[in-house]
């Protein structure tokens, strides 16, 4: 076709300024017939995920400018109607160590965006759901808890789950112990050892007395034979006592209290 005629056609085209950059752009003209088949397939997949409670991965492939972002925009617009939450996770530098925190950060940022055609942000739905269910969520600060920091940094074998029995050495005022107590739940148990009476008092007042699955032990971790309240074997020994001989202390405690297939976690300090 003649170049000049082509340019004139382009100038008349209703979609000429309709470049979608993000799934939350406003003023987008949506011609629903374009990529309808792909859109319908995504919606069918979402219905499948909802009814089967399983997950699916879809790969959206196409040349630059072929309308992939536009399709994401349309999927985001249909989120509320289909009762799902749309999240756009932007590409991150693929250093495994930071993958989890990058995904989390990107997810939260994305949930804060509102599609121009919808009434609310996805995060509002989550907050509403939490309020309705009466669930309490606690902040687990990775700058105050080494266990939280290790999760943020991609800890692969997280050993705590509902029902786990734990021996925790170095409870301090109970920050990390309280989170483990939440995770192991009422049928789990945390034997928490602390030898400094000043911090132990805080631990008792703020944490241990309010939680029935924590057994406080005011003892020296170097003398495991003197913990009279630990009964049976534990699934996990968690060591955070910041002592030069903590590896020896950990091994002695594991020898006495750790199950055969149990796990132990030790916090090492680099100076
Ligand atoms: C780094 S702090 C623990 C922080 C805590 N794990 C947390 O994440 O909240 C180390 C604790 O180990 C305690 N500790 C040090 N040596 C100990 C020992 N021999 N027996 C019991 N506790 C000890 C200290 O008193 C201190 O409270």
SS3 78: coil
Residue 149 CB–ligand 1 contact under 6 Å: no
* pLDDT at res. 62: 87
* pLDDT at res. 250: 95
d(CA 144, CA 178): 13
Most confident of 25-34, 74-83, 121-130, 157-166: 157-166
Pinpoint the residues of the chain covered by CATH 3.40.50.150.
Answer: 159-266
User: What residue's CA is closest to ligand 1, atom 4?
Assistant: 172
* pLDDT at res. 231: 83
Residue 145 CB–ligand 1 contact under 6 Å: yes
Least confident of 1-10, 32-41, 181-190: 1-10
* pLDDT at res. 230: 80
* pLDDT at res. 18: 67
Which pLDDT tens digit goes with each residue over 219-266?
999 999 999 888 889 999 999 998 999 999 999 999 999 999 999 988
Residue 221 CB–ligand 1 contact under 6 Å: yes
Q: 199: CA distance to ligand 1 center in Å?
A: 9
* pLDDT at res. 6: 64
Atom of ligand 1 at shortest distance to CA of 222?
19
Residue 222 CB–ligand 1 contact under 6 Å: yes
Could you tell me the pTM of the whole model? 0.67
Atom of ligand 1 at shortest distance to CA of 175?
9
d(CA 138, CA 156): 22
Residue 194 CB–ligand 1 contact under 6 Å: yes
Overall residue count recorded for the chain in this entry: 271
d(CA 140, CA 66): 43
pLDDT over 90, % of the chain: 52
Measured between its terminal Cα atoms, the distance across the chain in Å is 72
Task: Name 215's bridge partners.
Answer: 191
Residue 242 CB–ligand 1 contact under 6 Å: yes
User: What residue's CA is closest to ligand 1, atom 17?
Assistant: 241
Residue 170 CB–ligand 1 contact under 6 Å: yes
How sure is the predictor about 72, in pLDDT bands with cuts at 50, 70 and 90? very high
Least confident of 6-10, 74-78, 195-199: 6-10
Contact 246, 264 (CB under 8 A): no
**In the CATH hierarchy, which top-level class contains the domain 159-266?**
alpha beta
Residue 164 CB–ligand 1 contact under 6 Å: no
Contact 87, 122 (CB under 8 A): yes
How sure is the predictor about 136, in pLDDT bands with cuts at 50, 70 and 90? confident
- Whether the per-residue pLDDT at 13 is higher than 60: the answer is no
Over residues 203-231, mean pLDDT: 93
CA quadruple 193, 194, 200, 206: dihedral positive or negative? negative
Over residues 146-160, mean pLDDT: 89
Q: 172: CA distance to ligand 1 center in Å?
A: 5
* pLDDT at res. 66: 86
With DSSP H G I counted as helix, E B as strand and the rest as coil, what are the percentages for the chain, rounded to 5? 40, 10, 45
- Least Cα distance to 25 among 90, 116, 135, 139 occurs for 116
Using left for φ > 0, alpha for ψ between -120 and 50, and beta otherwise, residue 107 falls in alpha
Atom of ligand 1 at shortest distance to CA of 147?
8
Pair of tokens at residue 222: 């170097």
* pLDDT at res. 83: 83
SS3 267: coil
Contact 170, 195 (CB under 8 A): no
Q: 158: CA distance to ligand 1 center in Å?
A: 21
Task: Name 264's bridge partners.
Answer: 237
d(CA 258, CA 252): 10
* pLDDT at res. 269: 72
- What stretches of 66-121 show up as alpha helix (H) in DSSP? 68-77, 79-82, 96-111
């Amino acid at each position: 076709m003649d170049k000049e005629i082509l340019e004139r056609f382009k100038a008349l085209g209703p979609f000429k300024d309709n470049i979608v950059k993000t799934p939350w752009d406003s003023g987008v003209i949506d011609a629903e017939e374009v990529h309808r088949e792909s859109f319908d397939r995504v919606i069918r997949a979402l219905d499948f995920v909802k009814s089967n409670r399983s997950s699916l991965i879809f790969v959206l492939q196409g040349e630059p400018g072929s309308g992939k972002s536009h399709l994401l925009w349309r999927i985001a617009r249909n989120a509320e109607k289909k009762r799902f939450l749309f999240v756009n996770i932007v590409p991150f530098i693929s250093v495994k160590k930071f993958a989890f925190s990058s995904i989390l950060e990107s997810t939260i940022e994305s949930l804060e965006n509102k599609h121009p055609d919808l009434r609310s942000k996805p995060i509002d739905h989550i907050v509403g759901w939490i309020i309705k269910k009466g669930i309490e969520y606690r902040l687990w600060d990775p700058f105050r808890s080494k266990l939280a920091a290790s999760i943020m940094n991609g800890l692969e074998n997280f050993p705590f789950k509902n029902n786990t029995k734990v021996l925790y050495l170095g409870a301090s005022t109970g920050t990390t112990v309280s989170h483990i107590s939440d995770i192991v739940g009422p049928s789990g148990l945390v034997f928490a050892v602390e030898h400094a009476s000043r911090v132990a008092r805080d631990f008792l007042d703020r944490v241990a007395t309010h939680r029935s699955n924590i057994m406080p032990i005011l003892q020296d971790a170097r003398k495991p034979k003197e913990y009279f309240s630990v009964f049976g074997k534990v699934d996990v020994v968690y060591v955070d006592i910041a002592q030069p001989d903590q590896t020896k202390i950990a091994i002695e405690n594991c020898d006495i209290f750790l199950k055969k297939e149990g796990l132990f976690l030790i916090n090492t300090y680099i100076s």
